[in-house]
Amino acid sequence: MSTFLRNSLWMTPLLIAANTITAKAIEIDTNLTNLQVKDGIVAETQENSNSEIEQVTSVSQLSDVQPTDWAFQALQSLVERYGCIAGYPNSTFRGNRAMTRYEFAAGLNACLNRVQELIATSTADMVKKEDLDTLQKLQQEFADGLVEIRGRIDGFESRTAALESQQFSTTTKLNGEVIFALGGVFGGDRALDSDRWRTINAAPAASREAVKNAQYTASGGRKLQDNTIFSDRIRLNLVTSFTGKDQLFTRLEANNSIAFNSPVSGTNMTRTSWDSTNDTTNSVQMGKLYYRFPVGDKINVIVDAIGGEFYDNFNTINPLLSSTPIGSLSRFGRFSPIYRAGNTSSASNTGSGVSAVFKLSDKITLSGGYLARRGSDPSAGKGLFDGSYGALTQLAFQPNSNLTLGLTYAHSYLRGANNDGDVTVSGGYGSAFANSPFGATINTTANHYGLETSYRIHPKLAFGGWVGYTQAIAENSSGANVNRGDKADIWNWAVNLAFPDLGKKGNLGGIIFGQPPKVTSNDFGPAVLTSTTNRRVDSDTSLHLEALYRYQVNNNLSITPGLIVIFNPEGNSNNDTIYTGVLRTTFRF
């Protein structure tokens, strides 16, 4: 072989690389199994894992390569002159599929081996002088480009090395979110429950106003606390993985968002999704700590140490509106109250237990879990098994990517005898009677049943909603009003419309309408009733109407104005309509 020929052959790898980079679509396959990288792990791709890639000797053997294709001549030359191309068993080349760096390296190596074979067997006549002349011209033409590419790669490698040496952790990532909220409630008077209104309406007309004022005074005042506020919530999350499939999650948070609840509006129905009834001093707390890991290919287990909630562990069937920082503005609008069974998040250092998600098939998922509200407290009436708890199971059915249905059951036990404030049967955003149907000091068990759905009608329109029923049962007696075994029926429902990418990509419009938890019947009260008897039943139906529009400024910043309207708050039409106006700004990093 001539010196010119031998000196030219070494350029082949560079020219193949340049041709591949500039053309972006010439794929060089080999008899090696196709590989890909996912989450830092090299793995076989599904399409090639069960079949061998076969060598072809003519481009006509590739059924999906046509003479009109822009790369046809290049493929023909590589196949028929140098034997560097392989096809799939179904006689396809799949030239439009993306190529990984592993595939490129394997294909380049195959061509180099082929060139060495030609040299070793003295078949230099297969490499024509015209080809070598072309290669020399291409080398000269792309010399500057190759130098530039090498310079960029060298710079990238040096920056990568610096990043690896200075990174926070090899196993832990840091992310966070900050919510700034401007808002307030406005309307007429604060809401009173139906029993107070029974007392007012039973009074003689001449003294009714005085009785009304007395009822307002006893409940915290008549007028709404309608001062506009500016508040924040900050969360920093440390996400650690030791195997690439598990997750240790640690959250630090601070919050000074006082809830728009009874002291402010007379009702919990006006609460926002990020407010707090626990610590509102912006002191840093451990907000959540859990470890998630797989068991086999179909089961994920979540062990919650602090801050466990079912709505964090399971699918709430409301994908576009359930997120606090970028979804619904209200607590009620996020998802069905059934996912707050046990209401574990309202007390500090709470929500301990275990949950599991079992993927029965591609379309059906079974979930279940147990969370104790005060699992870390060894005091009497607390702990993992002696205190308040919630247990939930759910069957989710997703026949296609647009439709999801959920059937959910939960059982909760809430202690009131120690007056820990645990008796919040309906998630802390229904009427006062729905939250504690027998009073705050009565131990209460409850069985919750829910049906949820979400349907993506169009890429820019989604429909969803839920209906829920709860039967609460008194577990101890209290005078003449409560007997052990007394029952109360509580109902709630909601429908919502979401408009993804409204105005521009990333934006979201939302409308939520529904009935917050309402007590429809209750055994509470003496056997003989009068017109003023305290029955803890809501006289009328409260309705929740919410409209919001999230404007996505960029990937890290969104601004969401919205309005929440509560008709007949506290389940009584005598109460004035209450409005909650909010402007939420969310930073995510």
**How far is it, in rounded angstroms, from Cα 112 to Cα 115?**
5
Q: In degrees, to the nearest 5, what angle opens at C-alpha 219 toward C-alphas 216 and 220?
A: 85
320 burial level (CB within 10 Å; 0-12, 13-18, 19+):
buried
**pLDDT one digit per residue (tens) for the chain, 589 residues:** 444 334 444 444 444 444 443 333 333 333 333 333 333 333 333 344 344 556 677 877 888 888 878 778 787 877 777 777 777 777 788 878 877 777 777 777 777 777 777 777 655 555 566 777 777 777 777 777 777 887 888 788 888 877 777 677 878 999 999 999 999 999 999 999 999 998 898 889 999 999 999 999 988 889 999 899 999 999 999 999 999 999 999 999 999 999 998 889 999 999 999 998 877 889 999 999 999 999 999 999 999 999 999 999 999 999 999 999 999 999 999 999 999 987 654 445 568 999 999 999 999 999 999 999 888 888 888 888 888 999 999 999 999 999 999 999 999 999 887 767 789 999 888 999 999 999 988 999 999 999 999 999 999 999 999 999 999 999 998 877 899 999 999 999 999 999 999 999 999 999 999 999 999 999 998 777 666 677 899 999 999 999 999 999 999 999 999 999 999 999 999 999 999 999 999 999 9
Q: At what angle do helices 12-23 and 129-166 cross, to 10 degrees?
A: 70
pLDDT at res. 92: 83
**How far is it, in rounded angstroms, from Cα 466 to Cα 558?**
27
Backbone angles phi, psi at 294, to 5 degrees: -85, 150
Backbone angles phi, psi at 315, to 5 degrees: -75, 120
Q: In 66-128, which residue ranges form alpha helices assigned H by DSSP?
A: 72-80, 101-120
Complete DSSP assignment for 262-304: HHHHSSGGG-BTT-BSS--S---EEEEEEEEEEETTTEEEEEE
pLDDT at res. 68: 78
> In three state form, how does the secondary structure of 316-351 look?
CCCCCCCCCCCCCCECCCCCCHHHHCCCHHHCCCCC
**How far is it, in rounded angstroms, from Cα 234 to Cα 325?**
10
pLDDT at res. 115: 74
Both tokens of 114, joined, read: 């082929």
At 214, the amino acid letter reads: A
Q: Contact 525/534 with Cβ under 8 angstroms?
A: yes
**How far is it, in rounded angstroms, from Cα 526 to Cα 63?**
85
How many residues appear in the chain? 589
Q: Which residue has the tokens 């003689």?
A: 204
**Would you give the distance in Å from CA 288 to the centre of its chain?**
16
pLDDT at res. 42: 35
pLDDT at res. 41: 34
Q: Contact 197/574 with Cβ under 8 angstroms?
A: yes
Task: Say which residues have a Cβ less than 8 Å from residue 336's Cβ, sequence separation at least 6.
Answer: 316, 317, 408, 450, 452, 466, 468, 492, 494
Backbone angles phi, psi at 458, to 5 degrees: -150, 155
pLDDT at res. 44: 37
pLDDT at res. 2: 43
**How far is it, in rounded angstroms, from Cα 511 to Cα 492?**
17
Task: Say which residues have a Cβ less than 8 Å from residue 546's Cβ, sequence separation at least 6.
Answer: 328, 329, 330, 332, 333, 510, 511, 512, 513, 562, 563, 564, 565
**How far is it, in rounded angstroms, from Cα 326 to Cα 274?**
11
Q: Contact 277/264 with Cβ under 8 angstroms?
A: no
**How far is it, in rounded angstroms, from Cα 446 to Cα 401?**
33
**How far is it, in rounded angstroms, from Cα 333 to Cα 510?**
10
Q: Contact 55/103 with Cβ under 8 angstroms?
A: no
